[in-house]
Amino acid sequence: MEFVKFENVRYCYENICAVDQVNFTAKENAITAIVGPNGGGKSTLIKLLVGFIQPDHGQILFARDHTTGYVSQAVSFRRSFPITVRQMVLMGTLDPHIKPFYKYTEDQKKTAEESLMQVGLETCIDRHISQLSIGQLQRVCIARALASKADLLVLDEPDAGLDITVTNELYAILNSLKKDHTIVIASHHIDAILDIADKAVYANRSGQQYPLPEVLQRKLKGGIQL
């Protein structure tokens, strides 16, 4: 089942169109990878998907009402911020209309603990985030998104700043989560993401979709210009 559909989507920054005439779909309970050159529009597509910006033309359609969990690059997060892993993940359970001096419920605390178990960081729950590696911090950000009970997980280059070993570990975790979530990932680690993707989109202003990611992988290795 298709979870989201881009129809003739265009978005311009003043007189420069970052994406134009983009058409692709993302399946439910699957991983859709968005790859392409720097400046090709990957991050713009992610912002459109999350709703940070709206299309100048075209539309983005969802199969049903849903909640979205967004994960940005871990390297953009201030690791000096005075917060523990537990507190950071608990933030994902919060209702946007909470009142001052709100106290977390036992159910919220359990949800946070379960989310950390899903990303393999339950033993780090009481650490300050400054004690984490970049890879661990990115997994905490994913746990926070999971704690929000998001149906759709959207990740914008979650592998930025990570070596290939840590990237593969991160993607193995995401691959295990797709049974319960629809996942869309923009990435510059092309081989790593295409190895686990169920569908791929090549973003270079337009969006060319590949139902078989290995086809795109072969074309890119062959040096074919798309």
Q: Return the pLDDT at 95.
A: 79
Instruction: Tell me which DSSP letter residue 150 carries.
Output: -
Whether the predicted model's global pTM rises above the 0.95 cut: no
What is the C-alpha separation between 127 and 112, in angstroms, rounded? 14
Per-residue pLDDT of 170-202, as tens digits, reads: 999 999 999 999 999 999 888 899 999 999 999
Per-residue pLDDT of 44-75, as tens digits, reads: 999 999 999 999 999 999 999 999 999 988 65
CA distances from 155 to 17, 53, 183, 224 (A): 22, 16, 8, 27
Residue 174: phi and psi, rounded to 5, are: -65, -35
- Taking Cα atoms as reference points, which of 17, 28, 10 lies closest to residue 179? 28
Contact 31, 198 (CB under 8 A): yes
CA atoms 24, 201, 156, 225: torsion sign: negative
Q: Return the pLDDT at 116.
A: 96
Place of tokens 């078989």: 212
Q: Return the pLDDT at 74.
A: 64
- Asked whether the predicted pLDDT for residue 124 surpasses 90, the reply is yes
What is the C-alpha separation between 12 and 105, in angstroms, rounded? 44
- Asked whether the predicted pLDDT for residue 224 surpasses 60, the reply is no
Which residue pairs from 11-15 have beta carbons closer than 8 angstroms and sit at least 24 positions apart in sequence? 11/44, 11/48, 11/53, 11/55, 11/56, 12/56
In which region does residue 29 sit, left (phi positive, over 0), alpha (psi from -120 to 50) or beta (all else)? left
Per-residue pLDDT of 131-168, as tens digits, reads: 999 899 999 999 999 999 999 999 999 988 888 899 99
